[in-house]
């Protein structure tokens, strides 16, 4: 069933059941990789909040949770390429393994900025886990991007934390813009 947000129509793309299954798989892999450590999961707000919550529930090892808030879309359908930092990291990550949790990686501009910023804080390691990845939109080489839920076409999407004009985050499925 299609949904309407403001003037735009979106059609189903990825069901919550499919997202949940992939999140379990990623969580199991992360739990195995970081067994014996206490990693810091850093969610990038606002978009990652649903994925982050579901992901950490699947990682049954000691871990810390923190958030940062960055944006580059500012309500539109495309990135403005201007990165705004609204909420900085409030935990010391020096010498710690960091798993950066993103909702979506498209151009990679925000992610490159964020990885470089976190590296300056001297963590032991940084690994990026993104729910969605648009390889056709990518403009940067980001070797830290190790875990991807789903590779998708370069289409605008909403739901499961992703928004259009701050609306649509509450849908449990992911929807793509109907052209």
DSSP conformational letter for 137: G
**pLDDT at residue number 148:** 98
Q: What are residue 19's DSSP bridge partners?
A: none
Query: Nearest-CA neighbor of 165 among 2, 35, 56, 10?
Result: 10
pLDDT in tens, 4-23: 999 999 999 999 999 999 99
- 97 is a catalytic site residue: no
Q: Which of 106, 116, 136, 163 is catalytic?
A: 106
Compute the half-sphere exposure of residue 65: CA atoms within 13 Å on the CB side of its CA: 13
| Residue 179: pLDDT band with limits 50, 70, 90 | confident
Residue 151 has pLDDT above 80, yes or no: yes
Q: What is the mean pLDDT of the chain?
A: 92
pTM, full prediction: 0.91
**pLDDT at residue number 87:** 59
pLDDT in tens, 47-103: 999 999 999 999 999 999 999 988 765 555 665 567 677 657 889 999 999 999 999
147 and 165 Cβ atoms separated by less than 8 Å: no
69 and 46 Cβ atoms separated by less than 8 Å: yes
String of DSSP letters for 108-132: -HHHHHHHHHHHTT--SEEEEEEEE
Which ranges in the chain belong to alpha helices (H)? 16-33, 49-56, 109-119
Give me the domains of the chain, ranges plus CATH numbers.
3-177 (3.40.50.2020)
Burial (CB count <10 Å: 0-12, 13-18, 19+), residue 70: buried
**pLDDT at residue number 88:** 74
């Amino acid at each position: 069933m299609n949904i309407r947000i403001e003037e735009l129509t979106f059609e189903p793309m990825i069901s919550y059941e499919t997202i949940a299954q992939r999140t379990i798989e990623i969580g199991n892999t992360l739990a195995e990789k970081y067994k014996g450590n206490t990693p810091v999961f850093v969610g990038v707000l606002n978009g990652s909040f649903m994925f982050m919550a579901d992901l950490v529930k699947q990682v049954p090892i000691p871990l810390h949770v923190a958030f940062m808030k960055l944006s580059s879309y500012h309500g539109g359908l495309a990135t403005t390429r201007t990165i705004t930092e609204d909420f900085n990291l409030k935990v010391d990550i020096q010498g710690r393994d960091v798993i950066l949790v993103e909702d979506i990686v498209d151009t990679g501009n925000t992610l490159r900025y964020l990885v470089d910023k976190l590296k300056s804080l001297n963590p032991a390691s940084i690994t990026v886990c993104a729910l969605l990845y648009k390889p056709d939109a990518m403009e940067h080489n980001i070797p830290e991007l190790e875990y991807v839920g789903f590779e998708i076409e370069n289409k605008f999407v909403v739901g499961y934390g992703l928004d259009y004009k701050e609306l649509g985050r509450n849908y449990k499925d992911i929807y793509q813009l109907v052209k």
